[in-house]
Structure 1
Amino acid sequence: MDTDAVILAGGLSSRAGGFKLELLIGGKPLLARVIEVFLPICTNIIIVGGYSIERLYPLIEPYGDRVQLIWNKDYEKGMFSSVKTGIAEVKSPYFFLTPGDYPFLTTELCKELLKEIPGIVKPSTANRGGHPLLLPRQAAEEILPLEDSADLQQYLHTKKVKRFLIEDERLLLDIDTPEDYEEAKGKHRL
């Protein structure tokens, strides 16, 4: 299946105490871990940068042409502006969408999500939704005209979303604070 991935990497990292996409988990930068989940299964990997975009270039450089970095000039408007910037570049019939701060995503999970199409698919556990989302390109066409003040959850509430149940709650862990980072490092050792 021809699939793209959109990884959101334009945030301010204001609560993380540093530029979180450079943080090391298991000796590898957080963004690199997320990129490598999608390399085996995606045709194009689109990174949406904003704040400190220059710090992303060395993180994506090892992946060559498979990964493209685009700039969201409106990153200060929030994550939804990065969603729209990234999905505007989608060319495949389906695409994954995730923030770049989920250290425990796996290629295996993404392959399982692909088995659930057609439709929108979202992993979840313990009544909590996670990432990556898997969406048809038609969703991009519906999201792009929405106001920047909207958000992805508002859009998803208008759609039938298939929940793919997962057992590993680590898959839902994102890194927003120094405490999250310490928790992720501890869980990586498990």
Structure 2
Amino acid sequence: MKINGIILAAGLSSRMPAFKPLLKLKDKTVIEYCIDSMLRAGVNQVILVLGYRGKEVEAYLADKYAGSRLQFAYNQNYAETDMLTSIKIGVSALKPCAAFYLLPGDMPAIQTGTFRAVKEAMLRTQALVAFPTIEGQRKHPPLISWQCRDLILNFEGEGGLREVWKKLATQIATVPVDDLGCLIDTDTKEDYDKLVNYLDDQRFEFKPIIFENCF
């Protein structure tokens, strides 16, 4: 099952006094943790959707990943558009695949087991979308079938992806996970501090990626 991924990092970081993607976590940045979490889960290629200070992020990452593994797409109207616009840009940039994960670029602590559990749920149920859940609530990252591509790209109206999911209500699978990383983002300085403490408490550490094993 060939899977790609989309990470959304076009926003203004308006609630955080620092620029979220390049915030340091141990010896890496928030956005590197997000990318590495996907690659470690077996994703073939990550599309990173950038906007605000996007060229700075691209320049920082350009020599850290093989070009075939990380591609950049841009929401040039990031200040005036919503997240669905960035999602559509990411979906448009995807190469054909069976399915793709979707992850906000400020959620760097998702465990590999969560990605795999969502994939297994999709394979087991043949659903078009699969979500991890905590206490019955859907969380990131969903795994979305390529068959949903046109539905997402053609959707117009309010409500973003939540409205798209309503159209697929009978074709969504969920799987409960025990992963606090699904609850932790970096919207605010307080959120960032909680993330740092969580990673320290969990001794959360990514081992070096061996790219040959990711396919």
**Residue of 127, 130, 143 corresponding to 2:139:** 130
Q: Show structure 2 runs of 5+ residues with no match.
A: 202-215
Contact 1:25 1:103 (C-alpha < 8 Å) held by counterparts? no
CA distance in 1, matches of 2:159, 2:92: 16
CA distance in 2, matches of 1:75, 1:149: 17
Quick check: 1:92 aligned with 2:97?
A: yes
CA distance in 1, matches of 2:193, 2:199: 10
CA distance in 1, matches of 2:101, 2:157: 20
**Residue of 44, 57, 74 corresponding to 1:71:** 74
Matched residue, 1:18: 18
- Within a 5 Å distance, the mapping from 1:32-71 to structure 2 comes to 32-40=32-40, 41-61=42-62, 62-65=64-67, 66-71=69-74
CA distance in 2, matches of 1:39, 1:69: 15
Question: Deviation of residue 150 (structure 1)?
Answer: 4.2
CA distance in 2, matches of 1:38, 1:69: 15
Taking structure 1 as the reference length, what is the TM-score of the superposition? Answer: 0.93
Question: Deviation of residue 126 (structure 1)?
Answer: 2.1
CA distance in 1, matches of 2:180, 2:43: 24
**Larger displacement relative to structure 2 (103-112 or 90-99):** 103-112
Residues 25-53 of structure 1: CA deviation (Å, up to 9, x unaligned): 23310000010112241121100001110
Question: Deviation of residue 82 (structure 1)?
Answer: 0.2
CA distance in 2, matches of 1:85, 1:122: 21
Matched residue, 1:29: 29
Contact 1:104 1:170 (C-alpha < 8 Å) held by counterparts? yes
Q: Cα distance 1:170–1:39, how it changes in 2: closer, same or farther (>3 A)? A: closer
Identity, in percent, stands at 27
Q: How many aligned residue pairs are there?
A: 190
**Larger displacement relative to structure 2 (178-187 or 168-177):** 168-177
Q: Mark the structure with the bigger radius of gyration.
A: 2
**Residue of 140, 150, 174 corresponding to 1:141:** 150
**Which runs of structure 1 show a deviation greater than 6 angstroms over 4 or more consecutive aligned residues?**
none
Question: Deviation of residue 149 (structure 1)?
Answer: 4.4
Contact 2:5 2:47 (C-alpha < 8 Å) held by counterparts? yes
Amino acid of the residue matched to residue 46 of structure 1?
Answer: I
CA distance in 2, matches of 1:129, 1:27: 31
Q: Cα distance 1:59–1:164, how it changes in 2: closer, same or farther (>3 A)? A: farther
